[in-house]
Amino acid sequence: MHKLILLYLLIINAAGFLLMLVDKLKAKWKEKNETTRRVPEKTLFLLAGVGGSIGALLGMKAWHHKTL
């Protein structure tokens, strides 16, 4: 049971980390191409709320996403 919880947390935090990268890349791409759709903030907060907060925070720091 503990292994499943750890696996879940690992996956959800990895997803949060990578989703921050995807949104950052889409933001940079949108500067050049206005048709690019970003990841909704609601999705980012939902992912953080269901256990991916550490991954999301690390992603924000690593990619300088919404930190300024």
CA-CA distance, 68 to 60, in Å (whole number)? Answer: 10
User: Comparing 63 with 10, which gets the higher pLDDT?
Assistant: 10
What band does 27 get if pLDDT is binned at 50, 70 and 90? confident
Report if pTM > 0.75: yes
Residue 52, token pair as written in the block: 């991916």
CA-CA distance, 15 to 21, in Å (whole number)? Answer: 10
